Structure 1
Amino acid sequence: MMTHAEKRSAVLSIGRIYCDLIFTGLGHLPVLGREIYASGMEIAAGGGAFIAAAHLAHAGRKVALAARLGTDSLSTGVEEQIRDSGVDLRFIEHADDAGPQVTVAAVVGQDRAFLTRRAGPALPATLDAALDWDEARHLHIAEYATLHEIPDLVSRAKEKGLTVSLDPSWDATLIYDRGLLQACEGVDLFLPNLEEAEAITGSADPEAALAKLSPAFPLVLLKGGAKGAWAMSNGRMLHAPAETVPVIDTTGAGDAFNAGFIDAWLNEASEDACLKAGIRFGSRAVQAAGGAKLLASGD
């Protein structure tokens, strides 16, 4: 018989769901007044909440999305992809004003630029039911913008006995907010990348940025792409190098890293093993266009 501790092993992932239009094979980014052509394009379900959830599901972790999804054709199209990923959709709220929600990604080499349209509020009507889910052990907040819209989200999760992770994600209107760290009080795992950490702390050096972030969180993870990743807790810093793999598209690699780290962390692995798991998941994600696209082939 399954024990209560074993039953509570699932992850609840909250955030906006996007239809990603990903253009690859570009020599440079578009400029005003001129047209350029991409040699490749993918249409994929996106958003950090889904991408992390898809990688968790691929790892065998039960995971559900708490999110709003539109009723337009683009939203309907990505819902089919999300369902095929094995992610539990019981806490999806369907609403006309939740779509279309789109991100256009222009990929040049190992870098990319994004153009995004958000639709409607982030708060799903299903949130209370999601937090009451008796299998949930952990809440992953895929972007600070979601917490900004639902400021009591962390405290509500903690009241239900959940651990919490948060990826600030890049949002120029919020990433420089001086109240960001205070708003994240109660978060167990803080998961910025180097650019986000620099914006929050003013420090480009990973060690200096970690030193400034560490007092606010029990565990801080810093994602550096080709530079690998760092972790700091209780003043102790670890670094793990990146894997050498063919890179097609880095979209969603950070979210895949989050999934790998969270999955290992929930399995009570060492921080070093958690870092390596995150890098392994992120390395898999960059080998196809779309943060969860490669998973559809069963790789």
Structure 2
Amino acid sequence: MMTQTATRSAVLSIGRVYCDLIFTGLGHLPVLGREIYADNMEIAAGGGAFIAAAHLAHVGRKVALVTRLGMDTLSTDIEKQILESGVDLRFVERAPDAGPQVTVAAVVGQDRAFLTRRAGPALPATLDDALGWEETRHLHIAEYATLHEIPDLVSQAKARGLTVSLDPSWDATLIYDRGLLKACEGVDLFLPNLEEAEAITGSADPQAAIGKLAQAFPMVALKGGAQGAWLMSQDKLTHAPAETVPVIDTTGAGDAFNAGFIHAWLDGADNDACLKAGIRAGSLAVQMRGGATVLKSDAGV
């Protein structure tokens, strides 16, 4: 007979899913009125919810994607990639108005610029079933925009006894919202990067920013790219350096970090181990185009 812990180990990853068109090998970013050429282009399933879910599946965590997916050609093509990742799709709502959702990423070295089209509402008709799934233990919200559209999402999850993590994700129309922290009330684990943390707190210094965020959340993991990552929990600050790896594309590295961190955290790992697990997953992501393109659910990290 399975124990309660074993039956409630799955993660729900909620957020929009995109078809990413990733251009690499650029000398500089595009400018108005001029055409530039990329050395390579990758078409990949993207969006923080999917990339985090794919990395969770990669390390052996049962994970289900909670999202809406279009019925257009681009959506159909990325659904094939999502299936190959080992992510559970039982809570994916398929609807004509949910696509195409596309992000064009221009990558220059370790810098990126994005152009994105969203389609339809973020709220999937499957949400209630997902939150009530008998295996669900944790809800990961991949972008604040999703919570902004579903303002009672955290309270719904907490009412079901779930822990909740949230990556604010950069959205210039929302990241400076003074009500953001209040709207995130109840989140157990907050996962910004340095730019997002500065926008939210007004502090460019990582330690100052994470200190301010720790007043609102029980645990904050701050992603600093090449600077590594910081964790503040119960007034204790921990830092872990980045790994030295060849960088192909940093798209999705933060979402991969989220997955590695969440997996270790749910297993009861200590602060150092959680940070290192996040950094390890992020380091894996930057060595591929798209963040989750070549992951296989049965492969080891």
TM class by shorter-chain length? Answer: over 0.9
Deviations 1:153-208 (A, max 9, x none): 00000000000000000000000000000000000000000000000000000000
Aligned to 1:275: 275
Matches of 2:81 and 2:153, distance apart in 1: 27
Residues 86, 296 of structure 2: 8 Å contact kept:
no
1:34-53 equivalences under 5 Å are 34-53=34-53
Task: Give the superposition deviation at 1:265.
Answer: 0.1
Matches of 1:102 and 1:219, distance apart in 2: 32
Q: Does 1:66 align with 2:63?
A: no
Aligned to 2:30: 30
Corresponding letter in the other structure for 1:252: G
Residues 229, 279 of structure 1: 8 Å contact kept:
yes
Task: Give the superposition deviation at 1:296.
Answer: 4.2
Aligned to 1:188: 188
Matches of 2:14 and 2:289, distance apart in 1: 23
Aligned to 1:212: 212
Deviations 1:60-90 (A, max 9, x none): 0000011000000000000000001000000
Aligned to 2:90: 90
Deviations 1:102-145 (A, max 9, x none): 00000000110000000000000000000000000000000000
Aligned to 1:4: 4
Corresponding letter in the other structure for 1:277: A
Aligned to 1:290: 290
Matches of 2:294 and 2:225, distance apart in 1: 18
Aligned to 1:145: 145
Matches of 1:213 and 1:116, distance apart in 2: 28
Aligned to 2:103: 103
Corresponding letter in the other structure for 2:91: F
Q: Secondary structure at the match of 2:100?
A: coil
Matches of 1:235 and 1:294, distance apart in 2: 38
Deviations 1:199-229 (A, max 9, x none): 0000000000011100100000000000000
With 112-121 and 287-296 compared, the bigger mean Cα shift is at 287-296
Corresponding letter in the other structure for 1:237: L
1:126-205 equivalences under 5 Å are 126-205=126-205
Matches of 1:185 and 1:53, distance apart in 2: 23
Q: Secondary structure at the match of 2:90?
A: strand
Q: Secondary structure at the match of 1:90?
A: coil
Q: Secondary structure at the match of 1:89?
A: coil
Corresponding letter in the other structure for 1:96: P
Structure 2 unaligned segments of length 5 or more: list them. Answer: none
Task: Give the superposition deviation at 1:236.
Answer: 1.0
Aligned length, in residue pairs: 299
Q: Secondary structure at the match of 1:116?
A: strand
Q: Secondary structure at the match of 1:177?
A: coil
Runs of 4+ in 1 over 3 A off after TM superposition: 296-299
Q: Report the TM-score, using the length of structure 1 for normalisation.
A: 0.99
Residues 243, 280 of structure 2: 8 Å contact kept:
yes
Q: Report the TM-score, using the length of structure 2 for normalisation.
A: 0.98
Corresponding letter in the other structure for 2:65: L
Matches of 1:294 and 1:178, distance apart in 2: 39
Residues 287, 294 of structure 1: 8 Å contact kept:
no
Residues 58, 296 of structure 2: 8 Å contact kept:
no
Corresponding letter in the other structure for 1:261: F
Task: Give the superposition deviation at 1:235.
Answer: 1.4
Aligned to 2:76: 76
Corresponding letter in the other structure for 1:22: I
Deviations 1:245-278 (A, max 9, x none): 0000000000000000000000000011000000
Cα RMSD (Å)? 0.9
Q: Does 1:236 align with 2:236?
A: yes
Matches of 1:164 and 1:277, distance apart in 2: 18
Task: Give the superposition deviation at 1:294.
Answer: 2.9
Residues 285, 294 of structure 1: 8 Å contact kept:
no
Q: Percent identity?
A: 81
Matches of 2:40 and 2:80, distance apart in 1: 22
Corresponding letter in the other structure for 2:120: G
